Amino acid sequence: MRYRAEKHHLTADGHRMKLYVLRPTLLLPGGAPGVLWIHGGGYVIGMSEMVFFSRAMDLVKSYGAVVVAPEYRLAGQAPYPAALHDCYEALLYLLRHAEELGVRRDQIMVGGESAGGGLTAALCMYARDRNEVRIAYQMPLYPMLDSRDTPSSAHNHAPVWNTRRNHWGWRHYLKDLSSSEVPYYASPARCTDYSGLPPAYSFVGDIEPFYCETLAYIENLKAAGVEAAVDIYPGCFHAFDMLRPDLPVSKQAIRAFNARFEYAMTHYFSDN
């Protein structure tokens, strides 16, 4: 499916934020799912252009979704809560411009990789608590959720992301917050109430730092009565699907992710 990419700007939290809007040239009858896709980078690196080699591209090309990718402030520019506030403003942009973009108001979704997955979870909690926009589905892929060490993030020396880099990312994102002051909007693994959150799908490799926190997040959602599922890929490192999309296991993960999204298109709706 052919698509066009448009660069937009919006004023968020007193600064000008760039975002990309990707939408098919032929919109789906009745409107398309609108997906806010949040890039990764440990809260300290990354840019909105990363959407062009993310899982979100299949959602546009194969399923006709409209994707909005914000360039939220990184921790070096402004620590927590800047990134969350920026993503929330982009979410409101998607809802408020739904008709103009050809998006269904009852199918606003959120997804992202790594820190973008962590922001996905945080944004779902933040949106639930504020009750201004209702998210129909969430896709936090190998998400960065827990600022505390877990069995898989402690003493991890896997490729791409490991314990040292994880500590570096959290230190910059949380900056002057003490461990006892960290809210669950910053580190979603600290949440104690998962009720009312949107259905979720994730996948993760079992040698990467975020293995344990990803599984814990999905289990906490399920325990709260939320539909949630995760696929585990043995021997896979962080972001394997993006960095080595040619591998058979990456192709398997991509097919599974796309199938989950296709199911979500016909089963998950909100009441915006």
- Over residues 37-58, the mean pLDDT reads 98
Predicted confidence at residue 119, as pLDDT, reads 99
φ, ψ of residue 38 to 5 degrees: the values are -110, 125
Q: Is the pLDDT of residue 68 over 90?
A: yes
Predicted confidence at residue 251, as pLDDT, reads 98
Neighbours of 47 (CB within 10 A): 14
- Over residues 6-23, the mean pLDDT reads 92
pTM: 0.97
Angstrom CA distances, 51 to 39, 80, 198, stand at 7, 22, 22
Q: Are strands 103-113 and 200-205 parallel, antiparallel or unpaired?
A: unpaired
Q: Is the pLDDT of residue 8 over 90?
A: yes
- Look at the block and give the residue holding tokens 């192709």: 251
Burial class (CB in 10 A: 0-12, 13-18, 19+), 223: exposed
In a domain, 178, yes or no: yes
Looking at the 3D structure of the chain, how many domains does it have?
1
Distance of CA 82 to the CA centre of its chain: 16
- Over residues 139-143, the mean pLDDT reads 98
Predicted confidence at residue 65, as pLDDT, reads 98
φ, ψ of residue 49 to 5 degrees: the values are -65, -15
Q: Is the pLDDT of residue 42 over 80?
A: yes
Distance separating alpha carbons of residues 81 and 75, to the nearest angstrom:
9
- Over residues 198-224, the mean pLDDT reads 98
CATH code of the domain containing 153: 3.40.50.1820
Predicted confidence at residue 3, as pLDDT, reads 93
| 3-state helix vs strand vs coil in the chain, percent to 5 | 40, 20, 40
Residue pLDDT, tens place only, 165-190? 999 999 999 998 988 899 999 999 99
Q: Which has the minimum average pLDDT: 15-29, 197-211, 252-266?
A: 15-29
In a domain, 23, yes or no: yes
The pLDDT mean for the chain works out to: 97
Distance separating alpha carbons of residues 150 and 157, to the nearest angstrom:
14
In a domain, 272, yes or no: no
Q: Which has the minimum average pLDDT: 5-14, 63-72, 184-193?
A: 5-14
Predicted confidence at residue 204, as pLDDT, reads 98
Predicted confidence at residue 14, as pLDDT, reads 85
Taking a C-beta distance cutoff of 8 angstroms, is the pair 92, 19 a contact?
Answer: no
Distance separating alpha carbons of residues 241 and 91, to the nearest angstrom:
26
Predicted confidence at residue 180, as pLDDT, reads 86
Q: Is the pLDDT of residue 104 over 90?
A: yes
Q: What angle do CA 143, 148, 187 make, to 5 degrees?
A: 50
φ, ψ of residue 29 to 5 degrees: the values are -60, 130
In a domain, 42, yes or no: yes
What single letter denotes the amino acid at residue 100? Answer: E
Q: Is the pLDDT of residue 28 over 90?
A: no
Query: What is the DSSP secondary-structure string of 211-243?
Result: HHHHHHHHHHHHHTT--EEEEEETT--TTHHHH
Domain that holds residue 22: 3-267
Q: Which residues contact 137 (CB under 8 A, 6 or more apart)?
A: 107, 109, 110, 198, 199, 200, 201, 264, 268
In a domain, 68, yes or no: yes
Predicted confidence at residue 130, as pLDDT, reads 98
Q: Is the pLDDT of residue 91 over 80?
A: yes
Q: Which has the minimum average pLDDT: 14-28, 148-162, 198-212, 242-256?
A: 14-28
Predicted confidence at residue 179, as pLDDT, reads 84
Q: How confident is the model at residue 19 (pLDDT cuts 50, 70, 90)?
A: very high
Predicted confidence at residue 13, as pLDDT, reads 77
- Scored b (16 or more CB within 10 A) or e, 65-102 reads bbbbbbbbbbbeebbbbbbbbbbbbbbbbbbebbeebb
